[in-house]
Structures are given as structure tokens and as C-alpha cells.
Structure 1
Amino acid sequence: MNAAFLDSLPEVRSDLGPALAAGERVVFAARPACFGTETDAFLGGHTSKFYLTNRRLIANNTVGLWTVELATDIASCAIVENGIPFLKSTVVRVDLNKEVVYGDGQGVLRGFRFYLAKRDGDRFAALMGSALR
């Protein structure tokens, strides 16, 4: 992971204050239409918020925080376009290095899918591409 790149990015405003560790700051924030597991099992809807800090990826579904460490937990990140022309949705796929058990054993995920506006998806994928080099 290219931590120096993420540390060089300007901070963006967020409501994560107490959830951030010392020296951690938000460098990207967006509101996804929804997000889910790698198989599209629903995790959060349009009221969710999505953040990239200089250390973690955080998704807030208004019930709890989904968080993974950039340096150790993320295997890859890519944009996937679904649908037919003129009705395509931009999905950012984040694959994890290990399985994550959630909901007191209710489910297991190996990655996330974030349904973002095209502009936000492109920006996030570019940031992750530079960070994961």
C-alpha cells in the first residue's frame, strides 16, 4: 500500500470524528445508492455513507460501521459496469484478502460492492488504484 500517497491527499469533511484513530483522516466521502457483499447481499441503502480514510475503508449503513484496513485487508478494487447502454450502473468492487463474518455469524463476505454515482466511482477507483500500488 502506498500510504504516502494517501497521507498527501487533502482531508474532506465528514461526521466520523470519534470513529477515527489518531492521525487518521477522511480523504474521500460519497453516498452510495446502496452497498452489499460480493454476491450483492444487501448491507446498506441510500441513507448509507461511504468513506476512504488514509488508513481504512468505512461504510456506515446507519446501524453500524463496516470497516476494513487498507494495508492488510484489501486484495483489489475495480469498477464493474452492469446493465445495458443508457441504463448502466457503476459498481465499485472491493475484494478482501480474508473472509469477514458479520451479524454474529449470520453471514460471511469476501468483498463489497458499492453502487456509486459514476463520477464518485471513477474518483474512488483512481484513488484506490494509486493507493494499492
Structure 2
Amino acid sequence: MSSTNRASSDDEFIVVREILSRLGDKWSVRVIHEAAGEPIRFTDLKRKIERSTPISSRVLTRTLKQLERDGLVTRRVYPVVPPRVEYRLTELGQQFLHHAQEIMGWTMEHQTAFETARREFEAQTTEQ
């Protein structure tokens, strides 16, 4: 592979790693899940998330900005006082959610196999 092709390939993998990191971070999938459906206001989104886990406004704002930057969420500001802001999943965000749910389902389906493999690994590591 030439250095030009390698650079292009590395650039592509950077984007892949960044987007896959959304699956692994603490908040992105949760925010996307709760934002699915009709447009939702910031405070309503925060309230939905906090039914099970507290999230600060700062963390939610940062997560929404990252998701907006990646094209997964859109933000609409209405010119009223006080300002009204709504968030909505984009088509890309809906597709992301679908794939995230498939991965979560697959993980849950194979949870016992993961636990067994981990126990076996730990037993082998302890024996050595």
C-alpha cells in the first residue's frame, strides 16, 4: 500500500473510531434512544434520562453537541423568549440507533457466553 493510500485509509479509520466511540461512551446511545420519535426539548430529554440515571446539564449539552456535529441529531432554536430549543434524530441518527439496538440485543443474547469466557480466562490466568 502506498503512503498516499495509507494516509487516506488512516483518515477513514479515524472517523470509524470516532463514530464507534459513540457506542462505547456512557451517554450517546442513551441520549439517542431517548431523543427518538418526536422532537424533544432539552429539559424533557434530561428528565427522561434522569428517570434511571442522573446526568448534568453540562454533560447532556456536550453529548448533544457531539451528536449534532456527527449528524446524528439536529437542533432547532425557536425565536421566542425564553428561547425554545428542540432536538430530533436525523435519518442517520435513526439508523445509528437501529444498529446500536442490534448490537445491544446481540450482546444480551450472548451474555452467558461472555461471562463463561471471562470465568475461564480468569481461571487460566490464576493457574499460570
TM-score by length of 1: 0.25
Structure number with higher helix proportion: 2
Structure number with higher strand proportion: 1
Which of these two proteins has the greater Rg computed from alpha carbons? 2
